[in-house]
Homo-oligomer: A and B are copies of this chain.
Amino acid sequence: MLATASLDELRAAVREARAAGKRIGCVPTMGALHAGHLSLMRSALNETDYVVVTIFVNPTQFGPNEDFDRYPRQLDKDLELCRGLGVHCVFHPDVQTMYPPDDATIVEVQGLSTILEGEHRPGHFRGVTTVVTKLFHAVQPDVAFFGQKDFQQQLILRRMVRDLLMPIRIRTCPTVRDPDGLALSSRNAYLTADERRTALNISRALFRAREAIESGELSVAEAEKRLVQVLSSVPGLKLDYAVIRNAETLDPAENTGDQLVGLVAARVGTTRLIDNVLISPPGTA
């Protein structure tokens, strides 16, 4: 496995792989790899011939009062995990490589980037779309793999790739959960045992909303109302939003048989968590 911080070394390796007729897969991460990332890598290894994992804690997607400084960093352990899985290349650039001096260029998906997560984390998605564009230009993958856990992110990246005519396919892979239902996140490492129990309410409420809608017990509006009520009453949990939206557009859901998504963001202690579930109401195609 090649592990490099050098853009030139990365490009030479990818060029060689492509010249050998290999399809290039890319799994962009911020490191602190967990089973969710490993699942993305396994998909990439199944579906492409040469897999590049990128590890870069991107400063521009963190707000001024967010957890950039304390975000977990464990490069050696991450490299071990990648090596064990059979990943071909890990690109772990430093900030100067990704943001040259006087860097001034941004990529933004307007509209979608300013609702929900974007409303609570101004500038977050601009940071994501900008850095992913850079990583895509660095790696030039045929397919890039993202987790459904970051639902709005993968939707925005799909839109970006389509709008900018990038010759890349986005694959979204299912959220990986602990046996108790908690969606895996590098930020779960921040949680105390008590906070973790509190956090479980998020996935539980989402699962119940899905069940209620899919069984026809509640309308979408009723289920969303209950989702908000349930999560607002959990001690120690501060709800940012809990909504049920059209899964393609994130527009307010209508009862038309569209694929839906329930999305929750909440803070537990000092930790901000997000989760989501896809919901297929009765009559969904």
- Using CB atoms and an 8 Å cutoff, list the residues of chain A in contact with chain B: 7, 11, 98-100, 103-112, 129-130, 133-134, 137-138, 140, 159-160, 162-167
> How distant is A157 from chain B, measured CB to nearest CB, in Å?
10
> How distant is A91 from chain B, measured CB to nearest CB, in Å?
11
Instruction: Quickly give the copy total for this chain.
Output: 2
Report whether A137 and B104 are in contact in the complex, using a CB–CB cutoff of 8 Å.
Answer: no
Report whether A167 and B11 are in contact in the complex, using a CB–CB cutoff of 8 Å.
Answer: yes
A166 neighbours in B (Cβ, 8 Å) = 137
Q: Which of B103, B162, B164 contacts A133 (CB 8 A)?
A: B164
> How distant is A60 from chain B, measured CB to nearest CB, in Å?
12
Report whether A167 and B137 are in contact in the complex, using a CB–CB cutoff of 8 Å.
Answer: yes
Report whether B7 and A165 are in contact in the complex, using a CB–CB cutoff of 8 Å.
Answer: yes
23 A-B Cβ contacts within 8 A? Answer: A11-B167, A98-B165, A103-B163, A104-B109, A104-B111, A104-B163, A105-B107, A105-B110, A105-B129, A105-B159, A105-B160, A105-B163, A105-B164, A106-B107, A106-B110, A107-B107, A107-B164, A108-B108, A130-B164, A134-B165, A137-B165, A137-B166, A137-B167
A133 neighbours in B (Cβ, 8 Å) = 107, 164
Nearest CB in chain B to that of A133: its residue: B164
Report whether B11 and A163 are in contact in the complex, using a CB–CB cutoff of 8 Å.
Answer: no
CA distance A105 to B130 in the complex (A): 11
Report whether B162 and A100 are in contact in the complex, using a CB–CB cutoff of 8 Å.
Answer: yes
Q: Which of A11, A103, A111 has the most CB of B within 10 A?
A: A103
A108 neighbours in B (Cβ, 8 Å) = 105-106, 108
